[in-house]
Amino acid sequence: MKITLDVLQKRKNTQKITAITAYDALFGRIFDGEVDVILVGDSLNMSFGGNADTTNISLEAMIYHTQAVCRGVKSSFIIADMPFGSYAYTKQALKNAIKMIKATHIDAIKIEVKPDKIDIVKALVDEGIAIMAHIGLMPQFIKAEGGYKIKGKTATQADFLLDSALAFEKAGAFGILLEGIQADVAKTITQSLEIPTIGIGSGRHCDGQILVWSDAFGFFTQFKPKFVRRYFEGEALLKQAVRQYAKDVTESTFPNENESY
């Protein structure tokens, strides 16, 4: 069954939303139907592109990866990130979001926003685009903020986050992604909204959870944020397999007769 916007919105206060990232058709197909939401996150610029942060990925690269994911995913709800600098003002945001929609088969778009961008959210929604607003720790802002900082530690920050979430809900966002927000603040935001929240590093009270797949399955091991739970030791297991393959080739035990024509 295809997960639709309606299904996600009805999950509020009933059943948790499960979400994971994917960046290609191969893994999109593996994750499809196992989770409600698949996000083509710009985190791919780090974990797969080997870059220091997400800021230098292009719209074309995001479209390329999103097209691949869409080829592999049939039932999960697909969201794609708009990359840094592609939605700085309304006209540009509309042009690029429409380009993304027309080039792919996504269900929704996610953008990292502060309330000064409320008009952009409204314009996108008015155009018929389902928008998820990403608030809290926003990786696209790290250069201005001097790093990755957990949000909601002060009352002022907590109020700002709650006001932002309420403003984006009013502007028509179908959901809010809460990243790196103190668990108690994320809980208050979640309880104050009618639309669902999906959290990453924001505690267990959000309406759903998302992880970057290469973190969750142990393929990205340069560092492990506190909020990541590893469900698989991908790097270690893959290294073991690739070493075995190299050994078999070196020792001429691969291919054998059954593997030859």
Q: Which residues contact 51 (CB under 8 A, 6 or more apart)?
A: 45, 57
| Of positions 106, 113, 131, 210, contacts ligand KIV by CB under 6 A | 210
Measured distance CA(1)–CA(186) in Å, rounded? 30
Catalytic residue among 60, 127, 179, 233: 179
Residue 156 neighbours by CB distance under 10 Å = 9
Q: Per CB under 6 A, does 215 bind ligand KIV?
A: no
Which residue has tokens 């959901």? 175
Specify the stretch interacting with ligand KIV by CB under 6 A; choose among 4-12, 34-42, 94-102, 217-225.
Answer: 34-42
Q: Which is nearer to ligand KIV, 205 or 246 (CB)?
A: 205
Measured distance CA(36)–CA(38) in Å, rounded? 7
179 labelled catalytic: yes
Q: Which is nearer to ligand KIV, 79 or 129 (CB)?
A: 79
Pairing of strands 77-81, 37-40: parallel
**Shortest distance, position 241 Cβ to ligand KIV, whole Å:** 26
Q: Per CB under 6 A, does 179 bind ligand KIV?
A: yes
| Of positions 59, 200, 206, 216, contacts ligand KIV by CB under 6 A | 200
Pinpoint the alpha helices (H) of 55-173: 59-72, 90-103, 118-126, 142-145, 155-171
3-state SS, residue 16: coil
| Of positions 38, 67, 80, 81, contacts ligand KIV by CB under 6 A | 81
Q: Per CB under 6 A, does 59 bind ligand KIV?
A: no
With beta carbons less than 8 A apart as the criterion, state whether 20 and 47 touch. no
Residues annotated within a binding site: 42-43, 81, 110, 112
Q: Which residues bind ligand KIV (CB under 6 A)?
A: 21, 39, 41-43, 81, 177, 179, 200, 210, 212
